[in-house]
Chains A and B, each alone.
Chain A
Amino acid sequence: MKILVVDDFSTMRRIIKNLLRDLGFTNTQEADDGNTALPLLQAGSFDFLVTDWNMPGMQGIDLLKAVRADAKLKTMPVLMVTAESKREQIIEAAQAGVNGYIVKPFTAATLNEKLQKIFDRIDG
């Protein structure tokens, strides 16, 4: 399982990568916004996307929409990890086809739970 972690803050990318590693996902790569993430995703071989919403350049919601609009990427599971907490934003992300939504600050247990839920759905 190869995971791309997208966040403009390197510390947050590092936290998520550490938590993912503890959960057994050691194959991760990083990008700092949608503009750098999309070419990496299109170049292939990623199975999962974890992205922030509020980033300079291309925002997470636009990255999600771009992924869903891309024939090769559209089925990729996307987990949003963000401080954006307006109801209308969560609804927008849901309508854009997000698979999970975590609001910051979050815990390791929450990340684990949401990942598990997404995998269960894919398997089931």
Chain B
Amino acid sequence: MMTLSNKEQLSKTINQTRDLLAHLENNEIEDAQEMIDSLATSGDDDLFIEIGKLTRNLHEALTNFQMDSRITDLAASEIPDAKERLNYVIEKTEEAANKTMDKVESCTQRSNTMAKDSEELLVEWKKLYNRELEPGDFRKLCNKIETHLQKNKNDADDLHGELTEVLMAQDYQDLTGQVIRQVITLVHDVEESMVHIIKMFGSMDGYNKAKGEVLIREGVEGPVVNAEVRNDVVQGQDEVDDLLSSLGF
């Protein structure tokens, strides 16, 4: 098959084109027509190959263009939007944590008071058993017990109300879970775009090699989410204690 990349064919075509141009400049129309006809027939294969190449280039250019606009969308709106979403997650979780702790602190206070009241009452109750109670104090004790029971009932109702609020504060898990899932989808899209770029302009070998490696960050890194595949981190408090005791702690 003849192609333009074939050197011999290329110089032949250049010469033919020069001749054609000369005929045209000299107004030798018939000769020019003849040359065009011969070029057209002899170069059929070349022409189709070139058209094929052009089509492929065009297709690639179009694909690149589409990807460019995807990357533009990602950078211009979707990633800033994702940052906002993640900030929402921080806000919601912080809100829920504080709300829960408010209620827990209030419940703790209530339970402390209940324990203290009951303790005081028990002291007097034991006096009654040991016949140490003055006759007039019996009535006082009865009143105290009635007040205590009434207060206990109210406190139990209030505790129930506060526990319900603790329960409701856990709705953050649903809300933030949905948002995080959307962000995971976005991260996946970004990953695909990046792999696409690597495929076109970079080295897939390098990519595949790096893909198999476990990522280890230098310095502080916060919670480790893949501790089971890492051997540079401890798996829990027991391993911290073992390590420290091996250092003489």
Interface residue ranges, A against B (CB under 8 Å): 10-11, 14-15, 18, 22, 53-54, 59, 83-91, 94, 101-104, 106, 110
- A88-B232, A103-B234 known; A54 vs B222 contact (CB < 8 Å): yes
Residues of B within 8 A of A (CB): 94, 97-98, 101, 104-105, 108, 220-224, 227, 232-234, 236-237, 240, 243-244, 247, 249
- Which chain B positions have C-beta within 8 A of A87? 232-234, 243
In contact, A86 and B223 (Cβ under 8 angstroms): no
In the assembled complex, how far is the CB of residue B88 from the closest CB belonging to chain A, in whole angstroms?
16
Given A83-B223, A104-B223, A110-B237, check contact A91 B247 (CB 8 Å): yes
**Does A18 contact B97, Cβ atoms closer than 8 Å?**
no
Whether B232 contacts A86 by the Cβ 8 Å rule is yes
What distance in Å separates the Cβ of A116 from its nearest Cβ neighbour in chain B?
Answer: 14
Q: Which residue from chain B places its CB closest to the CB of A84 in the assembled complex?
A: B220
Known: A90-B244, A94-B249, A101-B244. A18 touches B105 (CB 8 A): yes
Known contacts A91-B243, A91-B247; decide if A11 and B94 are in contact (CB<8 Å): yes
Q: Provide the residues of chain A in CB contact with B237, threshold 8 Å.
A: 102-103, 106, 110
With a CB–CB cut-off of 8 A, which chain B residues contact A103?
Answer: 234, 236-237, 240
A59-B220, A85-B224, A104-B223 are known contacts. Are A18 and B234 too (CB-CB below 8 A)? no
Distance in angstroms between the alpha carbons of A43 and B143 in the assembled complex: 52
A-B contact count (CB 8 A): 61
Contact partner, B220, options A22, A53, A91, Cβ 8 Å: A53
CB proximity of B87 to chain A, nearest CB, Å: 15
13 residue pairs A–B, Cβ–Cβ below 8 Å: A10-B98, A18-B108, A22-B108, A53-B220, A84-B220, A84-B221, A85-B227, A86-B232, A91-B247, A94-B249, A101-B240, A101-B244, A106-B237
Give the residue among A15, A87, A102 with the most B Cβ atoms within 10 A: A87
Beyond A91-B243, A110-B237, 5 extra complex contacts between A and B, CB < 8 Å: A11-B98, A53-B220, A54-B221, A83-B222, A94-B244
Assembled-state Cα–Cα distance A82/B98 (Å): 20
Chain B residue at smallest Cβ distance from A95: B247
Assess whether A90 is in contact with B243, with CB atoms less than 8 Å apart.
Answer: yes
Given A11-B97, A90-B240, decide whether A85 and B220 contact each other with a Cβ distance below 8 A. Answer: no
Q: Is the CB of B101 within 8 A of A11?
A: yes
